[in-house]
Amino acid sequence: MSNLEQQELNTLKKSAHRSFLVLLVLNISLSLLFLFTNSELFIVAVVLQVSIMILWLLPVFLFQVIYKKQPIWVSVYKSLISYRNIMEQVQWP
């Protein structure tokens, strides 16, 4: 692997780890919301999270693996990065 490819891979890993942290923090906050308030907002948020994973992350992953012929771990990184991009577009109150 060349130095440029290694640098791009490291950038992908860092971005994917940040995306995973966003996913983790969001899910922990949803769990705390459920524990302390027991509201319907929790159910709506969980349904949204699951639908984002099924309707967005899975197709992005499959596109990277099947069409672009990327290795699986690179496809996972890229799908996580796309998740963070989605969360950046959401307008949080």
Helical packing angle, 3-37 and 72-89, nearest 10°: 50
pLDDT bin (cut points 50, 70, 90) of residue 21 is confident
Task: Kindly report whether the global pTM for this prediction surpasses the value 0.75.
Answer: no
Average pLDDT, the chain: 83
